[in-house]
Chain A
Amino acid sequence: MNDVTTDAGLPVRPVYEADAVDASRIGLPGESPFTRGNFKDGYRHKLWTFRQYSGFGTAEESNERYRYLLSQGGTGLSVALDLPSQCGYDSDDSDVEEEVGKVGVAIDTLADAEILFDGIPLDSISTSFTINGTAAIILAMYVAVGEKQGVPREKLRGTIQNDILKEYTSRGTWIWPPVPSLRLIADTIEFCAAEVPRFNAISVAGAHFRDSGANAAQEMALTLQDGITYCDEVVSRGRMTIDQFAPQISFFFYTHGDFFEEIAKYRAGRRRWAEIVTDRFGAKNPKSAMFRFGVVCGGASLYAPQAQNNRVRVAYEAMASVLGGVQSMFTAAWDEPFALPTEESTTFALRTQQILAYETGVARTVDPLGGSYFVESLTDDMEDRVKAIMADLEAQGGMVKAIESGYVQRLIAEEAYRSQLALEAGERLVVGVNKFADGQPPPDAIGYELDAENRKRQMDRLADVKKRRDDGQVSETLNALGRAARGTDNLMSYLINCVNAYCTVAEMVDVLKSEWGEFEQPRVF
């Protein structure tokens, strides 16, 4: 870490005095612009949510695990899908065969979703899907499974990530170009607000910007700019006001190791979002202006050499997140950089949060750092930096243009390179890596096992569904989807019809590809 600036390059003085702070900007917790937190009593009555790791597998295996979790009193499920399902390919596509079932469950048709949620009452649980490109299709399947169980839409609870913009720059599960993708996301937001009111249609993620190399200020600025883009898309249709959907938007970040910078990032982000939603979009409901966010502690801030050191990193990051006012937190296991975490390592990660919540006393008072000369000053500096980056993105023509031209990708890649060179030059210190290194080889990576039998079962099931379904209904619903894609109707009801006819994910995706085209990667360098 540099002596005189934070990781993101914000200057840090040797000492801060009263003149560093504009006291009028500090405000109170629970009052807009929420610099000191969304709620006036902080964590006194409600701690942040502790999230835990959830594994991979086939629909059958995942279903079994969900049933176990529910029997133990769990109330939330977390679903990871394999890459073909995320990118819109079916399991029988030979181009993607080696990825089927690899990093999550394979979903080709409603039949897979039926098995995944078999015997799980969808009216009594909340399900979180890490899904973006095909989020609308997965949402349609969830609604369809609910209907088969006799659960009305207004009782379904959960979240789809559904944040396509960061996929173009950082995570890569894009399908269509940005403009039609935004339309589909706006369709899901409208649909949830109107028919599935307890389901969050979007979680705007900065974490992936961070993981691909952005610094803290860039992470916050890019995420807020994404949030603006989604709100613009919905509001510009003139069918909904900001207050009808903004309370359902949540955000998601990585907390890394620069302690006070991370705290300032969250405080500045809250203030910025409140002002954006109020000033730019004219929100009247204070809940619309609340910046609700979850975090992951770990990711690219963890290292394989002297891997046990990661336990300490995660603990500091967790404390920074709480002092920043987080709503839900996932603490990574110390062995995450090189392995599928074990039961021991994930339990320890959870204990890290529990010790923080119940032993350290950080949750006793709201925003304990509020009014600190340093923290308030750094919050102001962070906000200025975030504003400047956002103004630059606007000057590029907004987020979509800045992605299509490769500008955002370049911004992130350059920062990643700068940071890596600083590490290799010893300007940025990491204990066990370039300071106090012991020359021991890092622990070995443990590969994800691919079960050939499970893949065959998935292919057999898909072949069977294709044989048994009503082909007339398949082509009828797909044709209707294609026609609707050319117009401006909300596509959710068309997707639900396709899903109920057992159309495959790739069939629906391909119909929309033929109408909308595919995203073409820009030149970044």
Chain B
Amino acid sequence: MSTPTVARPSLDDELHAATQGNVRSIGRLVSAVENADATVLAAIATRKVGAPLVVGLTGPPGVGKSTATDGLIAHYRAAGRTVAVLAIDPTSPLTGGAILGDRIRMLRHVKDPGVYIRSFAARRQLGGLAETTETAIRLLAVIGFDIILVETVGIGQSEVDIARVASTTVVLVSPRGGDGMQAVKAGVLEIADIFVVNKAELPGAEETVRDLTEALAHRRPAPDSWRPPIVRASAATPGGLDDLAIALEQHREWLEHHPVQPGQVRAELVRRALKDAAVDRFRRALAVPDDAVARVLEGVTPVDAVIDELVLLGRSSRPITL
């Protein structure tokens, strides 16, 4: 049985459908961003968007990030805001495969058209996790989501990456054992806008709060800077995220009075989109002549010299326009 070739709408139509809430369109566009599709990058970089609240949630495995994300979805939906979630999972270093399972904790929102949830595999991203995530956030903002939650496991660099793309970074620690202090040692002290001691009903929670308070006391923040609060939460309990919601609101208000230069951010995005598009077009335009390969194989011409030739060749093969 053969299916007829699927006709795709134009990119403009697809973006329009996405802003109208067409989930299929949103899903396809996010994939295009994941695959570093230069056309899409360029299209969204040049659009004006509102300023969604971008909350990054990070912390060690098992700390309750997905449950907290689930609770925040419910919180913002109750306030009538639309929510998009990017749930980022590690990839197997051996096979490149991944099981993306975070959304299992958010299943109750599956019927809500105001919620879009998307799983990301961390190491798949061609352009780097933070870059891809940033572009995906931009896309979701273009589509019109009010709140964007980015959830990622605190392994290696990814939590630091998240801090770069989120307007508010929430670091979750659990009271069990020494996890709390370990999170602090891993260098997340600098990136957190809000600390959450999750599962605050468990023994050891108060100790963890004390440890964190002490660690933060050693810092000497600039006079006008944000001082990260330490919030107790029980993500799995009704009302258990109320304090986090309040802290998020306070940080949002603070940001309003201390804005990052928006022009700078847009310029940076456009710069990257231009570069990606140019590299992409260059790659497609350039055919390496057999003669160049042969000269390298035979050692007739140094590699560097051949590359210089190729750059000239690629430039002349087609004018680069956007």
**A278 CA to B104 CA, complexed, in Å:** 41
Task: Indicate if the CB atoms of B62 and A520 lie closer than 8 Å.
Answer: no
Task: Indicate if the CB atoms of A521 and B62 lie closer than 8 Å.
Answer: no
B103-155, CB < 8 A from A: 104-105, 107-108
**Chain B residue at minimal CB-CB distance from A525:** B99
**A522 CA to B105 CA, complexed, in Å:** 7
- Determine how close the nearest CB of chain B comes to the CB of A517; give it in whole angstroms: 9
Chain A 493-525 near chain B by CB (<8 Å), digits 1 or 0: 000000000000000000000000000111111
**A473 CA to B87 CA, complexed, in Å:** 48
- Determine how close the nearest CB of chain A comes to the CB of B60; give it in whole angstroms: 13
B102 within 8 Å of A (CB atoms): yes
Inter-chain residue pair count (beta carbon < 8 A): 16
A405 within 8 Å of B (CB atoms): yes
- Determine how close the nearest CB of chain B comes to the CB of A410; give it in whole angstroms: 11
**Chain B residue at minimal CB-CB distance from A397:** B176
B101 within 8 Å of A (CB atoms): yes
B167 within 8 Å of A (CB atoms): no
B25 within 8 Å of A (CB atoms): no
Task: Indicate if the CB atoms of A523 and B107 lie closer than 8 Å.
Answer: no
Residues of A within 8 A of B102 (CB): 523
A219-278, CB < 8 A from B: none
B65-111, CB < 8 A from A: 66, 99, 101-102, 104-105, 107-108
Residues of B within 8 A of A521 (CB): 104, 107
Tell me the dominant secondary structure on chain B's binding face: helix
Task: Indicate if the CB atoms of A520 and B105 lie closer than 8 Å.
Answer: yes
**A521 CA to B103 CA, complexed, in Å:** 11
Residues of A within 8 A of B105 (CB): 520, 522-523
Residues of A within 8 A of B66 (CB): 523
Residues of A within 8 A of B99 (CB): 525
**A294 CA to B105 CA, complexed, in Å:** 36
**Chain A residue at minimal CB-CB distance from B101:** A523
**Chain B residue at minimal CB-CB distance from A177:** B236
Residues of B within 8 A of A405 (CB): 62
**A525 CA to B92 CA, complexed, in Å:** 12
**A327 CA to B302 CA, complexed, in Å:** 83
**Chain A residue at minimal CB-CB distance from B98:** A525
**A405 CA to B236 CA, complexed, in Å:** 12
**A523 CA to B63 CA, complexed, in Å:** 12
Task: Indicate if the CB atoms of B107 and A520 lie closer than 8 Å.
Answer: yes
Task: Indicate if the CB atoms of A524 and B101 lie closer than 8 Å.
Answer: yes
Residues of A within 8 A of B107 (CB): 520-521
Chain A 466-483 near chain B by CB (<8 Å), digits 1 or 0: 000000000000000000
Task: Indicate if the CB atoms of A525 and B101 lie closer than 8 Å.
Answer: yes
- Determine how close the nearest CB of chain A comes to the CB of B169; give it in whole angstroms: 22
Residues of B within 8 A of A522 (CB): 104-105
**A522 CA to B62 CA, complexed, in Å:** 10
Residues of B within 8 A of A524 (CB): 101
Chain B 270-296 near chain A by CB (<8 Å), digits 1 or 0: 000000000000000000000000000
Chain A 436-459 near chain B by CB (<8 Å), digits 1 or 0: 000000000000000000000000
- Determine how close the nearest CB of chain A comes to the CB of B240; give it in whole angstroms: 13
Residues of B within 8 A of A523 (CB): 66, 101-102, 104-105
**Chain A residue at minimal CB-CB distance from B238:** A517
**Chain A residue at minimal CB-CB distance from B99:** A525
A373-418, CB < 8 A from B: 405
Residues of B within 8 A of A520 (CB): 105, 107-108
**A521 CA to B108 CA, complexed, in Å:** 11
**A465 CA to B159 CA, complexed, in Å:** 58
- Determine how close the nearest CB of chain B comes to the CB of A314; give it in whole angstroms: 36
**A520 CA to B104 CA, complexed, in Å:** 8
**A522 CA to B99 CA, complexed, in Å:** 14
**A523 CA to B101 CA, complexed, in Å:** 6
**A279 CA to B99 CA, complexed, in Å:** 43
Residues of A within 8 A of B101 (CB): 523-525
Residues of A within 8 A of B104 (CB): 521-523
**A405 CA to B66 CA, complexed, in Å:** 12
Chain B 205-234 near chain A by CB (<8 Å), digits 1 or 0: 000000000000000000000000000000
List 16 interface pairs A-B (beta carbons < 8 Å), by A numbering.
A405-B62, A520-B105, A520-B107, A520-B108, A521-B104, A521-B107, A522-B104, A522-B105, A523-B66, A523-B101, A523-B102, A523-B104, A523-B105, A524-B101, A525-B99, A525-B101
With A405-B62, A523-B101, A523-B104 already in contact, 13 other A-B pairs whose C-beta atoms are closer than 8 Å:
A520-B105, A520-B107, A520-B108, A521-B104, A521-B107, A522-B104, A522-B105, A523-B66, A523-B102, A523-B105, A524-B101, A525-B99, A525-B101
Q: Which 7 A-B pairs have the closest CB atoms?
A: A525-B99, A523-B101, A523-B104, A525-B101, A521-B104, A405-B62, A523-B102
Chain A interface residues toward B at CB < 8 A:
405, 520-525
